[in-house]
Structure 1
Amino acid sequence: MPGAGIRPGIMNDRPRLLDVTRLVSRIGRGPLTGVDRVEAAYLAWLGPRPDTRLLCRTPYGFLLLPGAAGGALRHWLTAPETLPSPDLLDRLRRRTGPQARAEAGLRRLAEARGPHRSLGRMVAQALPTGGSYLNLGHSNLTGATLGALAGVPGLTVAVMIHDTIPLDHPEFCREGGSVRFAAKLAAVFAHANLILCNSAATRADVFRHAGAGRRPACAVAHLGIDLPQPDPAALPPWLDLTRPWFVCLGTIEPRKNHALLLDAWDHIARRWPEAQVPQLMIVGRRGWRNAETFARLDVRPQGVVELPGLPDGAVAALLAGARGLLMPSHAEGFGLPMLEAAALGVPVLATPTPAAHEVMGQAARFLPPDDPGAWAEAIMALAGAERGAMASVVGYFQGPAIPSWTDHFNIVLRLV
């Protein structure tokens, strides 16, 4: 579970209200995404504190919960089979999935609950001296919700923006994603007191879209790395681990540029005998607007293995044994997998996005997002190298500074 190994650092003693709506919606839906992992780390850090409250939006209104309820939420994320039964109203409405069951369990733990229109009053009663509201998951970023919270006396509204990709690259997003994100960002500009950004690159992007209107304060805090314990026993038993392999980690969607890697593997297959072709382990579920890539994967290209739904321990084991992590993304807000690979001493091949340059420095080899031949050459060099020589093949000799969650929270929790 993300955040399991973090330790308290320096923080002020203000009461905090952590929005966990996104995490509740993710229960029972497979491995956590990058944004999910950030919200989970905040829950692990802040949940045990007596001055923490949690906020969850449901179809029937908001739930205000003690921080200790985070223990149940974290347990359900890893063991959804233990969720309680749904409430009668949910059963009548045929809402019986994991999210409805989690909301039912949280209602039984709530300190207060109320309809959406009562949010400001409910929070003001729970936090009479004010405090900080923290939104890490891009849920509830509406003018109505943030406006109600901004009206609570003494409450600082802090929102993390992970990237502005829906505005910069709408072609890579779900239909309507750009319009929805623009409305969220407008609500943040209008009502937030503080914007948190995971990189200086994201901060520059955020304020590029700010226009001439209100600009909240902004702080940059690189995300922490919390590597799970590698668990080789959790890997599928049919995987061939006798031949070199590379890992591409993330949802199979256009922005991640899996098509380039399939082209690179076609290059390699034409150059090398079948027994020498390294394996490409694509770790992630299928996403959106990527029918051509899905069709190519359906015919099972030589050396390519698709692995959706692996648990965190299995992913860590696969990454630890890889010849390299491949990140040919067209855009990134941060790029957690790159730092996770670097922390394990695994070489990284990536496209030169501003965020990748910021977090990796010279500790990666950067390649163009539209040159599969260059990627094929770099991959073949790594596949044929002795393990001790892999760093020199990639072209770096010193890894990046690996940020910790303590580093992150020592920045953020001085401010909110």
Structure 2
Amino acid sequence: MTTTDPPARLLDLTRSLRRAGRTATGVDRVELAYLSHLLTLETPLYGLARTALGYVLLDRAGLRAFCDRIQGKLAWGRADLLSRLPKGRQAAVMRAESDLRRLARQRCLPQGLVAMLRRNLPTGFAYLNLGHSNLTDRVLLGVKAAGGRISVLIHDVIPLEYPAYQRPGTVAPFRAKLDRVNLCADLVIYNSQDTRRRSEAQMRRPVPPAIVAHLGVDTPVPDAAALPPDLPPARPYVVCVGTIEPRKNHAFLLDLWQEMGRDAPMLLICGSRGWNNAAVFDRLDHLPLNGPVRECSGLSDRALAALVAGAAGAVFPSHAEGFGLPPAEALRLGTRVLCNDLPVLREVLGDKAVYAPLSDPYSWKRILEEWAANPPDPRAMATYQAPTWAEHFKTVLKLT
């Protein structure tokens, strides 16, 4: 491991490119946090992204322009002819790829990657992959061949632990990515001790050198004016924030509210619909009008923060988490949190959350009814010390 700045850093932005135009998830925000922070440092910085037709290399000026577009400060440009050749892609991705080609310091076909890296980056550069994307043999072996060192941030290994919850066809590729990290990484960055333990249990020995650095917890400034006219509800309400996917376990909440009946506090399910969850989607599609459960999607970050800040509590019955950003953000907004008793949530949230196992729905109902009847004590939430990005980067960047 090195404790001095590398001669240059190469940040992989393939995930951010592929998710252009979508609502940012936790992993997307991690990639953006790194990009924003690294742009403030003096160490030479480059960006790499895999497009449909090859690789694009950005210098610092190109990265600033890309960052402005990801953050919505600038609009994406028009889609060029090359971006329109591959069929079936979203318009925002085509426009983003086109802009990257216009902003590129250099670009190449896949077989030209090593030569492009050698021409532009000094030996000993640090390659950072933060988004579980582009972890291919071509990239990892290409970085090695060009004289770079590889650091990879692992968010979780949930696809291997809970394969039934995943999109069809995604488990084997994830297994292959982890095997490549196991073989090629000079350093693995884990977002929690729990993720490290679970990930290394899935790896062959010897495992790569590793560090643990909790993610920074940033929350938008709440803006109640950004909410639609019918939100927030007039009666006490509880929020569940996160993509509606099987491991988030919305079915548990729907069952719970069905048992509590119409006198239950309102449940606002805030998140976009994911995958492999047809039964839950069907239940959401048939929610009764003016019933105690409502699906709220498409809210801006500031509107969602306002909704969470005004809630009687936030609930997270997930079967598994890699870190748990939404419950940490809820605590930071001063909202009470009730969650499944997972080791990673105890690691990140400490004693500031309330934990109840999924095997005890009675405790969930009792706590929620109590919260609906009693406003929170703001003093308890004010003592939550959320991890910061400053702490994260202090740990990580002295080694990458």
1:63 equivalent in structure 2: 56
Is 1:215 aligned with 2:207?
A: yes
1:239 equivalent in structure 2: 231
1:408 corresponds to which of 381, 384, 392: 392
1:25 equivalent in structure 2: 18
Is 1:331 aligned with 2:320?
A: yes
For residues 89 and 362 of structure 1, what CA distance do their matches in structure 2 show? 53
1:346 corresponds to which of 332, 335, 338: 335
Q: How far 1:81 sits from its partner (Å)?
A: 8.4
For residues 131 and 99 of structure 2, what CA distance do their matches in structure 1 show? 21
2:306 corresponds to which of 306, 310, 317: 317
1:296 corresponds to which of 283, 301, 307: 283
Unpaired runs of 5+ residues, structure 2, are none
Structure 2: which amino acid aligns with 1:414? K
Unpaired runs of 5+ residues, structure 1, are 1-9, 392-396
Structure 1: which amino acid aligns with 2:324? G
Q: 1:306 to 1:117 in 2, by over 3 A?
A: same
- Residue 359 of structure 1 contacts residue 400 of structure 1 at CA under 8 Å; is this kept in 2? no
Normalised to the residue count of structure 2, the TM-score between the two structures is 0.93
2:95 equivalent in structure 1: 101
For residues 363 and 128 of structure 1, what CA distance do their matches in structure 2 show? 46
For residues 91 and 138 of structure 1, what CA distance do their matches in structure 2 show? 26
For residues 24 and 337 of structure 2, what CA distance do their matches in structure 1 show? 22
Is 1:149 aligned with 2:143?
A: yes
- Residue 232 of structure 1 contacts residue 317 of structure 1 at CA under 8 Å; is this kept in 2? yes
Q: How far 1:231 sits from its partner (Å)?
A: 1.3
1:394 equivalent in structure 2: none
For residues 93 and 334 of structure 1, what CA distance do their matches in structure 2 show? 35
- Residue 260 of structure 1 contacts residue 371 of structure 1 at CA under 8 Å; is this kept in 2? no
Cα root mean square deviation, aligned: 2.0
Alignment size in residue pairs = 394
Deviations 1:174-220 (A, max 9, x none): 112221110000111111111110000000011101123x4211110
Normalised to the residue count of structure 1, the TM-score between the two structures is 0.90
1:363 corresponds to which of 337, 352, 372: 352
1:124 corresponds to which of 105, 118, 124: 118
1:264 corresponds to which of 238, 256, 280: 256
What secondary structure sits across from 1:415 in the alignment? coil
1:205 corresponds to which of 198, 204, 213: 198
Structure 2: which amino acid aligns with 1:260? F
For residues 17 and 382 of structure 1, what CA distance do their matches in structure 2 show? 48
Structure 2: which amino acid aligns with 1:282? I
For residues 27 and 84 of structure 2, what CA distance do their matches in structure 1 show? 30
Is 1:114 aligned with 2:108?
A: yes
Structure 1: which amino acid aligns with 2:161? D
Q: 1:198 to 1:126 in 2, by over 3 A?
A: same
- Residue 48 of structure 1 contacts residue 67 of structure 1 at CA under 8 Å; is this kept in 2? no
Q: How far 1:78 sits from its partner (Å)?
A: 4.2
Q: How far 1:147 sits from its partner (Å)?
A: 1.1
Name the stretch that deviates more: 57-66 or 234-243: 234-243
Q: Percent identity of the aligned residues?
A: 45
For residues 86 and 11 of structure 2, what CA distance do their matches in structure 1 show? 28
Q: How far 1:92 sits from its partner (Å)?
A: 4.8
Q: 1:304 to 1:78 in 2, by over 3 A?
A: farther
For residues 68 and 268 of structure 1, what CA distance do their matches in structure 2 show? 56
Deviations 1:88-108 (A, max 9, x none): 233355567111111111111
Name the stretch that deviates more: 365-374 or 74-83: 74-83
- Residue 260 of structure 1 contacts residue 370 of structure 1 at CA under 8 Å; is this kept in 2? no
Large movers: runs of 4+ above 4 Å = 92-96
Structure 2: which amino acid aligns with 1:98? A
What secondary structure sits across from 1:361 in the alignment? helix
Q: How far 1:279 sits from its partner (Å)?
A: 1.2
What secondary structure sits across from 1:334 in the alignment? coil
1:387 equivalent in structure 2: 376
For residues 225 and 53 of structure 1, what CA distance do their matches in structure 2 show? 26
Structure 1: which amino acid aligns with 2:50? R
Deviations 1:122-157 (A, max 9, x none): 11221123221000011111122111112222x210
Q: How far 1:240 sits from its partner (Å)?
A: 4.2
For residues 5 and 139 of structure 2, what CA distance do their matches in structure 1 show? 25
- Residue 146 of structure 1 contacts residue 191 of structure 1 at CA under 8 Å; is this kept in 2? yes
Q: How far 1:43 sits from its partner (Å)?
A: 0.9
1:191 corresponds to which of 173, 181, 184: 184
- Residue 68 of structure 2 contacts residue 74 of structure 2 at CA under 8 Å; is this kept in 1? no
Q: How far 1:241 sits from its partner (Å)?
A: 2.9
- Residue 24 of structure 1 contacts residue 73 of structure 1 at CA under 8 Å; is this kept in 2? no
- Residue 334 of structure 2 contacts residue 378 of structure 2 at CA under 8 Å; is this kept in 1? no
For residues 298 and 22 of structure 1, what CA distance do their matches in structure 2 show? 31
Is 1:175 aligned with 2:164?
A: no
Q: How far 1:13 sits from its partner (Å)?
A: 5.5
- Residue 6 of structure 2 contacts residue 125 of structure 2 at CA under 8 Å; is this kept in 1? no
1:282 corresponds to which of 269, 278, 302: 269
